Each structure stands twice: as C-alpha cells, then as structure tokens.
A and B are shown apart, each in its own frame.
Chain A
Amino acid sequence: MSGVSSWILSIAGIICISVIVEIIMPEGQMNKYIKGVLSFIIIFVIVSPLPNLLNQKSINITTNIDQIQVQQDFLDKYNIACKDAIEKDLINEIKALGYEGINIEISYGFDGENCYFDKVFVELKGLVISENSTHKDIVEIKEEITSVVVKKLNEVEVYFEE
C-alpha cells in the first residue's frame, strides 16, 4: 500500500509544480516547450510503477480465512437434553402400556462424527403393574418393553436390571 500512496503523492506533486510554473511563467516563446516538457514528465510519473508490476513473478496475496466455528459446548448440552427427552418419552410410552416405575438410561457412542444410540438400560426394580392390564410373565413384560424401545430407536441393545 505504501507503493500506491507514494505513486499518488508523486503525481500530485508533479502536477502542483507544473501548475505553479505555468502561473509564474512569463509570456514568451519558451512557453509551449516548457509545457510540453512538463506534460512529458507527468506522463512519465504516471506510468512509472508499471515496469515494477510487470517484473514481479507472483503476486502474493495472503488472506487467512478465520473459520466461523459452531459452538461445540452448546451442541454437547443440546445432545444431553435430547437424550433426556427421549428417555422421558420412552418411559411415558411404557406407562401407557401399564407398566410404571421403571427407569431408562440410554448410552450413546461415537462413530467418527455421528452420534448414535447403542445401549438402553432398563431398570425394573420399581416395576409396578397397573390394575387394568392382565397378569403377565416377567419375560413377556421384557419382550413388550423391548419391542417398544426398538420401534422407537432401532438397532439398540436393551439390557434389563432387576
């Protein structure tokens, strides 16, 4: 940038000088020769940076692009909130089947960039079967719960803790 400013300053300077010379100069025969020489000098000053520009092998313009980053900690907290919401929804759906008091925990794994659910832990310790459902075997209850979970999030392994 200093190169450009010096170029402009030299043009300004030479023109100011020529204007002053033109004002001061008395009428005479040398008039037109002096004007010719001055205009030649002006053209020379205007064209002077071109040889430097043409000789430069490469124009290095270094621009570093600062990436606009996604706020990762927001995404982490968001993921945890989503996981909690899905757990609550699963518990509500199983409650609709008539089984209350169970606790569900989902664990997820990373595969490169993607986050996926891999294991679901179901605690059956506080299981309370509500009155209007028929009496069922524990194995059948487990199968029902597994089918509900798998329908929602496919390809997960369901582990039961009693």
Chain B
Amino acid sequence: MKRKICFLLLIFTLFFSLPFSCVINNSSTIVACADIQDDFNETIDSQLENLDFGDIDKIIDDFNQKGNNIFGESSFLDKIYKIILGENLTDYPSIWDMLKSLFFDNILSLLPIIATIIAISILGGMVGNLKTNKNGKSMESIIHFVIYGLTVILISTIIFKMIDITTSTIHSVKAQTEVVFPILLTLLTAMGGTTSVGIYQPVMSFFSSTIIEIFTSFVLPLFLISIALNFISNLSNSIKLDKLSSFVNSLFKWVIGIMFTIFTAFISIQGISVAAVDGLSIRTAKFTIKNTIPIVGSYISDGFSLIIASSNLIKNAVGGAGLLLLLATIISPIIKLVLFVLALKLMAGIIQPLGDNKIANFISSLSKNMTMLLVMLVCVSFMYFILTGLVICSVNVI
C-alpha cells in the first residue's frame, strides 16, 4: 500500500509539470502586432463573457475564509485572465507560510489525544503487570477491556472527523468537475475537435457520476467495515478476526486498483491517439478546403483563426485554473490524513514495549486503515487531474 502511494504521488508530480508547460508556452506564441493584440483581447473578453462558471466562486470563497491561498484570486475568471496574460501564477512565500501553518496547527491539535492515549495505555499495562493473585488473568482482561474502550472512544472522534473531511473533499471535486468539464468540452467543440469530444464526453460523465458514486457508496462502506472489524478483533486474545479484516482490505485494494487501471489506461491511450487526429484535421482544414468542421464552413482567414486561437487559449487557461483549484482543494485534507497516520504509527511504537500488545496491534492496523482514506482521495483527484491534463494538451492549434 505504501509503495502504491509513493508511486501514485510520483506520477502525480511528474504529470503536474506537463500541462503547465503547455499553458505557459502558449502565451509566448501570440503575434506581436498591436492591432491583432487588441483584436485578440477583444475576442477573448467576448468569449469569456459567454461562459457560465456556476458554483466555483463559492468554493473559492470558502478557501479564502479558511486562509487557504493557493488559489489566490477572488474569482475563477480573474485567475483565467492571469493565466492567459502569462503572469506569475502563484505567490510562493505566502503559500509556504500557509503550508507551514497547516502542518503545525494539525500537529498541535493531534498532540493532546496522542498524549492521553499513550498515558492511558501505559498505565493500564503497568497495572496489568502487577497481578498478584490467581485471578490475575481475569483482572488483566477487565483492565484491558476498560482501557481499550477508552482508547476507542478517544480515537473515534478523530476518525469521524477524517471521514467527514474525505467525503466533503470528494464531493467538492465532483462539484468542480461539473463546472469545469462542460466548459472544456464546449471550447473543444468550438475549436472543431469533435473526435476528442466524442471520446472525452462519455469518460467525463462516467467519471463524475459513476466512479465517484462507487467511491462514496461502495468503497467508503468497505473502509468503515474494515475499521469496525479492526475494533472487534483486538478485544481479546482468543477471538480474532484478522483474516476477515484482511479479506475486506484486499477487496478494497482490488476494487480501487481495477477501477483506476481501467480508467487511466483507457483514457490515456485514446486521448493521446485522438489528440493528434483532431489537431491534424484542424490544421489541414486550414490549407485544404473542406466542409468537415460542423460549426461553420471552410475558411482561410485571419479573423477566423484569431477566434479559434483565442478559444484555444481560453481552453488551456480554464484547464490550468481548474488544476490549481484542485490542488488547493486536496492539499489540506492530504496533510491532515498523512499527519494522522504518522501519529498513529508513533503511538503504536511507543505503546508496544510498555503497554498491552493488543492495543498496539489495534493502533497500528488502524493506521493501515487510514491510508485507505488517503488512497481514495489521491485516486479521485488523480483521475480528475489526468482528464483535465489530457484536454489541455489535446487539440492545440496555435
């Protein structure tokens, strides 16, 4: 599971550089004539007016309230203008400060619970070791039962908070797909990339409804079942449900693995092969005279290619802004989950020598379960990322 996450994160960062290079290179190829520049700005403005950005500004307001300034601007439209003009995308010192404060705030909020649980377990372990009479065994079981119950109650508060954070982030990603993807598809159609649209539209619909549906209504309950079995199986020495837990864990891993592999393989191969087709067909339509583009007839003209070029820029800018928004959405939950997993492992390490063995087992398998949540989140955002990145890099006529 750890290796899978490292692998996923590595591909994540590698892919991140790719679409941004497309976005950043675009603005430098604009013709440097003043007239055309003005015309161009006018066409871009008029096209941006007609696009409908929906609920994204609400999400951005939410971020700004919480002090999350990775996205920066006050509205999606402003960010798109910034990207089109090629200005500096992010304000690095303030983001670094924000990340630092996120880290330290979360560590500080986890510390009290960690300290309490470690204290309780060590106390229980020491009292259990002091058995002096023949009923020592049942005394130990009762003490373990009580301490275990306390630990479970204390940790459950954090677990439910983490589940809450994960589900709300996944829903936020779904809301973003419902705004950004139609705009990208519209711009692709306007530029004449109909084969691409024919492939991306069903995959996007499948992603934003079915895949996210599977995540929230099948995979998340699997995670909850796994946690419940974990709680139960560490209650006593003789009754163990380890193998049932591992069945549920494997089911979880297989479902996510299969969905992810099918999705990525399908969309990458089709997306890459189709992008070339559409780009080529638009370029050849410029030189030969054919009625293949279903929007308007054929052409060779400056005004027309200016319009297509502005659509192209807007498409890439919308994709880039959407990716930045995604990054701003997922960075805080990921940091919280990672810190929680590490804290759990630390606790298990400290409890094991002094306290009861069962509690240490419980906490370390709980940390493995929390990585499931992390995997879910990374998976969903990665799929969204791949789709947007492919749309940005496809059908570039400029």
- List residues of A whose CB falls within 8 A of some B CB: 1, 4, 8, 11-12, 15-16, 18-19, 22-24, 35, 39, 42, 46, 63-71, 73-75, 77-79, 81-86, 88-90, 108, 113-117, 151-156
| Bound Cα distance from A89 to B225, whole angstroms | 66
User: Any chain A CB within 8 A of the CB of B175?
Assistant: no
The 9 A-B pairs of least Cβ separation, nearest first, read A85-B303, A89-B301, A117-B297, A114-B294, A71-B186, A19-B236, A23-B141, A74-B50, A78-B190
Whether A23 and B298, one on each chain, are in contact in the complex, defined by CB atoms closer than 8 angstroms, is no
Whether B239 and A115, one on each chain, are in contact in the complex, defined by CB atoms closer than 8 angstroms, is no
Closest beta carbon of chain B to A114's beta carbon, Å: 4
A15-B235, A66-B205 known; A86-B182 Cβ under 8 A = no
Chain B residues with CB under 8 A of A88: 303
Kindly name the residue among A42, A77, A78, A83 whose own CB sees the greatest number of chain B CB atoms within 10 A. Answer: A78
Closest beta carbon of chain A to B190's beta carbon, Å: 5
Question: CB within 8 A of B138: which of A18, A23, A82?
Answer: A23
Interface of B: prevailing SS: helix
Kindly name the residue among B46, B52, B142, B236 whose own CB sees the greatest number of chain A CB atoms within 10 A. Answer: B236
User: Any chain A CB within 8 A of the CB of B206?
Assistant: yes
Kindly name the residue among B181, B236, B297, B299 whose own CB sees the greatest number of chain A CB atoms within 10 A. Answer: B297
Contact-size category for B: 35 or more
User: Any chain A CB within 8 A of the CB of B168?
Assistant: no
Whether B297 and A89, one on each chain, are in contact in the complex, defined by CB atoms closer than 8 angstroms, is no
User: Any chain A CB within 8 A of the CB of B18?
Assistant: no
Chain B residues with CB under 8 A of A75: 186, 189-190, 295
Chain B residues with CB under 8 A of A42: 239
Question: CB within 8 A of B221: which of A1, A86, A152?
Answer: A1
- Inter-chain CB contacts under 8 Å: number: 148
A-B contact pairs, 27 of them (CB 8 A): A8-B228, A11-B229, A15-B235, A15-B241, A16-B235, A19-B141, A19-B145, A19-B236, A22-B236, A22-B239, A23-B141, A24-B138, A39-B239, A42-B239, A64-B209, A68-B201, A70-B185, A71-B183, A74-B47, A75-B186, A85-B301, A85-B307, A86-B296, A86-B303, A113-B294, A115-B296, A116-B296
Whether B306 and A85, one on each chain, are in contact in the complex, defined by CB atoms closer than 8 angstroms, is yes
A46-B244, A75-B295 known; A22-B186 Cβ under 8 A = no
Whether A70 and B186, one on each chain, are in contact in the complex, defined by CB atoms closer than 8 angstroms, is yes
Closest beta carbon of chain A to B291's beta carbon, Å: 6
User: Any chain A CB within 8 A of the CB of B300?
Assistant: yes
Whether B239 and A18, one on each chain, are in contact in the complex, defined by CB atoms closer than 8 angstroms, is yes
User: Any chain A CB within 8 A of the CB of B289?
Assistant: yes
Chain A residues with CB under 8 A of B208: 66, 68
Whether A4 and B221, one on each chain, are in contact in the complex, defined by CB atoms closer than 8 angstroms, is yes
